[in-house]
Structure formats: C-alpha cells, structure tokens
Chain A
Amino acid sequence: MGSQSFSDALGVDYGALAPLLIVLGGACVSVLLEAVLPRVRRRSVQLVFSLAVVVVALAAVIIRATSGAGDVVVLAGSLSVDAPGLFLWGTLLALAVPSVLMLADRSVEPGGVFVADPEALAEAQERVGAGSLRSTSSGLPSGTGTDTHGVVGRRGGAGPEPTTPPEMHTEIFPFVLFALGGMLAFSAANDLLTMFVALEVLSLPLYLLCGLARRRRLLSQEAAVKYFLLGAFASAFFLYGVALLYGYAGSVRLADIAASAAGPLRSDALLFAGLALLVVGLMFKASVGPFHTWTPDVYQGAPTPVTAFMAACTKVAAFGAILRVFTVAFGTTALEWRGVLWAVAIASMVIGTVLGITQTDLKRMVAYSSVAHAGFILIGCLAITPAGLSGTLFYLLAYGFTTIAILGLVSLVRSGDGEAGHLSGYAGLAQRSPVVAAALSFCLLALAGVPLTSGFTAKFAVFSAGLADGMAPLVIVGLVCSAIAAFFYLRVIVLMYFSDPAPDGPTVSLPGPMTTVAITLGVAVTLLLGVLPTAALEWAGAGTFLG
C-alpha cells in the first residue's frame, strides 16, 4: 500500500487540522526554546512566540470558518472539525490571548506570579542602587523536583551590572500551549480514546501550573496536590466508562456507540454504566454539581492568572466535549438518561448558589459561582436541540471573557503580601479606585445576568432552549438560583460603593499594559455580547455536530 493512499485513508486534512497542529507544534518548539535560549531572553521570546502561536491558530480557525469548507472527520475518525467545533476552537483561542497576557505580566506583582526566586528578589530590592540584581533560577521548575528554593548566596554579578528584570519560570508558556492543544483536541474529539488522551494533555500542565507560584507557596502546592489527586481519580472513572462503552459497542467512536444503541440486540447495562462513569469524569472537569469539590480550593490556591485560564478555557473545552458526547453518541437514548442529569443540573445550581452566599473570599466566591453557572450551562447541554447547542456555545464564550476580566481585576487589589482575597478588603474600593470598582461591578452584574451584559443574553438563550425542549422545572430552578445568586454579586458591589475603606485596607496596583489589555478585552467582550449578540449567536448556531 502506498504512503499516499494510507494518508488518504486516514483522512489527514491539513486545512482542517491547522489550528491544532499549530498550537501543539508551537508547544514543542516552545520546549526547545526553553532549552536553548539564554536565561535573560527567555521570557520575552517565549511571550512573543506563544502569543504569535495563539493568534496564528486563531486566524487559521477564522479562515477555516469563513472559507465555507464543509464539516470533515479527520485522522481516521478521531477528530471532527465541524461548525460547533470551530466555534469552540475560536472561543478557546480567543480566551487564550488574555490568559497568556495575564500569565506573563510582571507589573502587578514584583517579578510576576511565577518569579523563580522571590527571596532573592526581595533582597535585591532592598539593595536597590547597589546594582546587581541577578537572581539565578535553578534548573527545572519546582514541579520536577531539582530546584533548591531559597538557597542563599547564589547572587551573580561581582560588579555593578545593569539591573536585569527578575527571572520567572518561563516553563509556563509551553505548559499553557500544551494545555491549550489538549483543550482543542478535547472539544473536537470524535472518539472516546482521543478524548481521554486530550483530557490528560490538558490536565497535566494545569496541575503543574497550579503549583508553580513561589509566593504563598504552600497554598499553591496544596491546590496542585488536591487538583491532581482528584483529577486523576476522575479521569480513572472516565476511562472505565470508555472501557465499558467499548465493550458495549465494540468501538469507541461516538457515532458507532449511537448506532449500537439504536439496535435492540444488546443489554443496556453496559451502555448506561459506561455513560454514568463517563459523565462523572466529564462533569468533574467542567466542575458541575456534586463533582465540584476541587473547584473552590484550586481556584483560591492557584496563582490568579492560572485560575483565570483554567476557569475560562477548561470550562469551554469540557462543555464542548459534553455537548458532543450527549448529542452524537447518546442523542438517540436521551429520553432514558436525561432524568438523572436533571438532578445533577439542579444539584449544581443549588450547591453553587447556596455555598456561594456563605463565602468570604472573592476567589472562592467566583469558584462557587462557576459551579452554579455550570448548572445553567448543563441545561443548554441537556436540551439536545440546535437552540440548546447554540445557546450553550454562546454562554461559554460570554462566561469565559467575563471570568477572565473578574480574575484579572481581583489580582489588582492587593494587601501587604499578596492579593486581598477577603471580601472585607473590597470595602470602599470605589473611593480608592473608581475604574477598577466600576469594571468589577460591571462583570459581577454580567455574572448575575443583568440585561445589557453578555450574561443576560447567554442565560436567556440557554433557558429558552431548555423551556422549548420541555424542561420547565429545570428552568424554574435555574431562574430562582439566578435570583439568589444575584444577591451575593450585589453584596460585593454594595460593599465597594457604600462602605468606607478600612484605613489599613488593600491598595490597588496599577496594572501594566498586558493585564490592562486582558481586562479591557474581557470587559469589552462582555459589553459587546450583551448589546450586540446577534453575530455571535448566528455563528454559534451555524451548524451541528458531525458524527
């Protein structure tokens, strides 16, 4: 068999695969850059390179989407590049731009979140004027275990040198690109094995990113351990689900599972046991309902830019996969399993709302709000109709940008040693920094779903799709939860505008250009999608999944 015919049989469509290949290839090159570049140039080169990769991949998605090329299934049926898939890819890559900017920023915190050696940096800042600021990073990031943190006396320069910026763990850039590549593959995976591998490719870098902060190191590492152990646990469930479905259908392709389920010959025990286990793994990643336990701890403990990336992009990828699995593989049996997931959606909305009210830390509050939002998004996923699909896609886009903006703003409000996470720190913020307070209020209103913000349009789209598909009780629970959740968003706004600031309260850092761009982008998209949602809604509803 000739090589040409074999690659044809595989279905290697480079045009369709371009965004994925660019991101994953870029990640590999980024690792190589990490190896060969001298230390002082790593950060700037890596930043420009990563941004370029993301932007080029985004351009490839847009070109593909506007070229009118049809939906294709590529690589022997393992990936499906269809209209909703392209929308998800576009959303992920668009969210990656502000995420990368925030990760790379060093203006908010001296040396950035991922500074390699904070103690050395602090020492050097005390000796400002003495010149040599040249902390040396150790070999590998803390994750791989060779570094000797806090070793004193590794200062470089013997004489007065020009002040070089402090170093950071530039490994974050390849990590982000690998995670992004995994997310792209996850949301386009057309068979369960690809989905599993993509799940791990997206998860493993995220586990490491969570643990890389050197200030407040214990919190960060604890978040990483919790996320890792629970994540590995959940992916084992996912995998057992895959195995059972393979036993049921004799194939892991989503379309084949649907075809087997349509035949009356097999016992349903394997099918539904497999679906249940699969759903546990997927719901964990999307931080839905009772599988959310990792979310608050990890959101709080991880460095804030990582939280932003994780909250926005993982949710998009996970719900993309959930939509695809529900629609393509289990659309024909929806009547039999949907009731159980009603319960999950209700649990998610109620848990997120009730526990969100009791939180006193803003990042934890955002985490519980994300659990509640996951419940809302699940309503859209359960309505296996074109309206449900487009509503969910729009919701993901809107929610991602709002979350990134909120977490960017949270990273600006700082007390002595780090972020002022506690809500009391936000008292009277409007007097200290009207702009930050206004932007934060706007984003919180978007999460609450107030008209003229993207949150309203998104909720409306999802709820109306649910109602049209006969899920009235679920929608009613959703509305009640939205109303209750609005209380805790409004509480923060009231706190910021109508209380007096504490005399020793936190300060508001002036963001550097990169964080400013990221936050502005998030706020602007939130406003734009609220005022003029038509174009995005049309694109989201442009097509259906290809099995």
Chain B
Amino acid sequence: MSPTNYLLLSALLFSIGTVGVLVRRNAIVVFMCVELMLNAVNLSLVTFSRINGSLDGQVMAFFVMVVAAAEVVVGLSIIMAIFRTRRTASVDDANLLKY
C-alpha cells in the first residue's frame, strides 16, 4: 500500500482533533483532542521517515510521545485544580476574564 494513504489518514486525524478542540466544551475532551492531534503528527512523522528512508522521523516520534506525556500531566493537574475550585470542567463556565 502506498505510504501516501497514511499521510491522508494522519491529516484526517489531525483535522478531527482540530474540530474537536473548537467545538467541544469539556476541558478534558478538548485536551484529548489535542492529544489526538499530536498522535496524528506522530503518524505522519513515521510515514515520512519511511518515505525518506531515514530513521529521524521515528526518533522524533519518541520525543513527541515524551513531550505529550509531560503535557498530559501538567494539563490534567491544571484542569484538576480548576475543577476542585469550580466543580466543573466546562470551558464555557470559565468566563471571569473578559472585557
């Protein structure tokens, strides 16, 4: 199968993630959509690695995974903290800061 298909799949997943971030209201779900975007990128990195015939892309996918894990921890703790003070994880309820 042509590697291009994986690139299309990756673009599709990235778009789904983007749309999810824009339309979903729960901070956790928004955050999961961001993770989907990162993993879509991983797929294209690995595919490009295969197309280009170099291993760099796979190593980069490792780095992305680690960074994503760190991001999960930081993000969930922030969401947790706001949930404990507000009792809600909806991004629409956080509306104190506005003009």
Contacts and interface: CB of A to CB of B under 8 A. Distances in A.
Interface of A: 142-145, 193, 196-197, 200, 204, 207-208, 211, 217-219, 221-226, 228-229, 232-233, 236-237, 239-240, 242-244, 246-247, 250-252, 296-297, 300-301, 358-360, 364
A132 B67 CA distance: 44
Nearest to A204: B74
Interface of B: 7, 10, 14, 17, 21, 27, 30-31, 34, 37-38, 40-41, 44-45, 47-48, 51-52, 54, 56-57, 60, 63-64, 67, 70-71, 74-75, 77-82, 84-86, 91, 94-99
Contacts of B67: 196-197, 200
Contacts of A224: 78, 81-82
B68 to A, nearest CB: 9
Contacts of A250: 52, 54
Interface of A is mostly: helix
B44 A247 contact: yes
B94 A144 contact: no
Most buried by B among A221, A252, A297: A221
A233 to B, nearest CB: 5
Given A143-B74, A196-B63, A219-B96, A251 B45 contact: no
A204 B70 CA distance: 8
18 contacts: A143-B74, A196-B64, A196-B67, A200-B67, A207-B78, A211-B81, A221-B78, A221-B86, A225-B27, A229-B27, A232-B75, A236-B17, A243-B44, A246-B45, A246-B57, A250-B52, A252-B60, A360-B99
A145 B75 CA distance: 11
Contact of A359 (B37, B45, B82, B99): B99
A236 B22 CA distance: 14
Contacts of A360: 99
Contacts of B52: 246-247, 250
B98 A225 contact: no
Contacts of B85: 217-218, 221
B38 A239 contact: yes
B33 to A, nearest CB: 9
B37 A240 contact: yes
Given A233-B21, A240-B37, A246-B57, A225 B79 contact: yes
Given A208-B74, A221-B86, A296-B99, 11 more contacts: A193-B63, A196-B63, A200-B70, A222-B96, A225-B79, A233-B21, A239-B41, A242-B41, A246-B52, A247-B52, A296-B97
B48 A243 contact: yes
Contacts of B14: 236, 240
Contacts of A244: 44
Contacts of A300: 97
Given A211-B81, A219-B97, A250-B52, A228 B45 contact: no
Contacts of A145: 77, 80-81, 84
B2 to A, nearest CB: 14
A266 to B, nearest CB: 12
A247 B91 CA distance: 35
A233 B34 contact: yes
A246 B74 contact: no
A236 B82 contact: no
Name the residue among B21, B34, B74 with the largest chain A CB count within 10 angstroms: B74
Given A143-B81, A196-B63, A204-B74, A229 B91 contact: yes
B34 A229 contact: yes
A207 B51 CA distance: 37
Nearest to B57: A246
A197 B67 CA distance: 7
Contacts of A232: 31, 34, 71, 75
Contacts of A221: 78, 81-82, 85-86
A228 B44 contact: no
Contacts of B37: 233, 236-237, 239-240
A243 B41 CA distance: 7
Contacts of A143: 74, 77-78, 81
Contacts of B80: 145
B60 A193 contact: yes
A503 B79 CA distance: 41
A222 B48 contact: no
B38 A228 contact: no
Contacts of A218: 85-86, 96
B44 A200 contact: no
B60 A225 contact: no
B36 to A, nearest CB: 9
Given A204-B74, A229-B30, A247-B48, A240 B40 contact: yes
Given A240-B41, A252-B56, A229 B31 contact: yes
B18 to A, nearest CB: 8
B34 A225 contact: no
Contacts of A223: 97
Given A229-B91, A246-B60, A240 B44 contact: yes
Nearest to B34: A232
A208 B97 CA distance: 18
A236 B57 contact: no
Contacts of B97: 219, 222-223, 226, 296-297, 300-301
A1 B88 CA distance: 57
Given A232-B75, A246-B56, A246-B60, A222 B44 contact: no
Nearest to B54: A250
